[in-house]
Structure 1
Amino acid sequence: MNTQLRHAVIVEDNAPMRELIHMVLEACGVSNIVMAANGAEAIAALQSTGADIVFMDWQMEVMDGLECTRLIRSGIDGIDPKTIIILVTGMIGEKNEATAYAAGVDLFLEKPVSMKKLHTGVEKVLGLQKA
């Protein structure tokens, strides 16, 4: 896939899931990928390097994914509030999905998730997937 994505931040406290998302981003041609174990690390990474896309878990210690999403959307300390955010979470159901979208995520994906589903999610947020 040829995309405009060059920089990504993966915010996930589960190492195998971070690696899975990393593989998908590499397959999408993303060249600079920063990994963070929680929202606080993600905010620091975004302030340092920025990102075109963020893959975010919801439930994490220190700072959860929704709090981090809200901070990104606020444009805190120079972070681009329009950064694409894909939430990949075990928090399933319509109520949780609505809560996530209200916080500002661009796409809500329920775990468990496959490489194909992650790849399709990237295409969807980039508008490459047909409706």
Structure 2
Amino acid sequence: MEDNPVNRAVAVRLLERRGQIVTIAHNGREAVDLIKTRPFDVALMDLQMPEMDGLEATAAVRASEEGTGRRLPIVAMTAHAMKGDRERCLRAGMDAYVSKPVQAGDLFEAIDTATGATSGGAEEPQAPGPTTSRGRGVVDRAALLSRLEGDASLLAEIVELFLQTAPRLMRDLKLALTSKDAGKLERAAHTLKGAVANFGARPAFEAAFKMEQHGQRGDLASARKAWASVEKEMARLKKELERLVEEHAA
């Protein structure tokens, strides 16, 4: 249950490489409807989804399970990684927690914890890569390839997806600015931030994060000034990703 196509592609491919059959829901309401009508072994639930967020969807699933003797293991997926998020998810009825951008090892450990395959770890997850990366370049190549388990075809796939969706994400951001809609600005910047986080793209991530903060505060004047930085970093990221794919295709 993940509405960002790049995040979704990474999670799906990693799961399929482990022999899992994956069903995709594009929003929280669709996820709940699927779970009510079909049996699943585990659900990965993004906290921020359209129609119904992950916490609301989990509450709806748990309500539908009452009196049935069933309990679907649910893993929370979030880009926030803030202290206390794990406890909030567990209180809402989720069984495990993983931060985005998804790391293969963290994902499967969370699934094992949720399904009871292992005892799992109790430590609070750390913030996602772009905010902690020591790399000063446009893309943290080592972290990116490690996260994809060295899969060059998956790298090419998610870069293509990103390059296809990035213009729309930028249009959404620009439209929110021109329409002076702080709420839409915050959501558009959050989506863009999540997309670039997949590549360990710290400069682009930080530019989108600042725009998201301006939207949260309703500071449209600062957001308009920050637009140039977002444009610049997105252009740099596009060139670097195209170069990276060419190198690994050779």
TM-score, with structure 1 as normaliser = 0.78
SS of the residue 2:98 aligns to = strand
1:59 aligns with 2:48: yes
CA contact (8 A) 2:46 2:53 kept: yes
Higher Rg of the two aligned structures: 2
Of 16, 20, 23, 1:30 maps to 20
Measure the CA separation in 2 of the matches of 1:104 and 1:50: 18
Residue-pair matches, total: 120
TM-score normalised to structure 2 length = 0.43
Identical amino acids, percent of aligned pairs: 29
Give the CA deviation at 1:79: 8.3
**Which residue of structure 1 lines up, in the alignment, with residue 114 of structure 2?**
125
Change (3 A) 1:80 1:36: farther
Moved over 3 A (4+): 76-81, 126-131
Q: Is residue 47 of structure 1 aligned with residue 36 of structure 2?
A: yes
**Counterparts of 1:1-131 in structure 2 under 5 Å?**
11-31=1-21, 33-75=22-64, 81-129=70-118
TM superposition shift of 1:91 = 2.4
Q: Which residue of 2 aligns with 1:6?
A: none
- Where relative contact order (Cα < 8 A, 6+ residues apart) is larger, the structure is 1
Structure 1 unaligned spans of 5+: 1-10
With 37-46 and 121-130 compared, the bigger mean Cα shift is at: 121-130
Moved more, 48-57 or 65-74: 48-57
Report the Cα distance in structure 2 between the residues aligned to 1:130 and 1:12, rounded to whole angstroms.
26
Please tell me the root mean square deviation across aligned C-alpha atoms, in Å. 2.4
The amino acid across from 1:120 in the alignment is E
Counterpart of 1:82, as a letter, is R
Q: CA deviation at 1:77?
A: 9.5
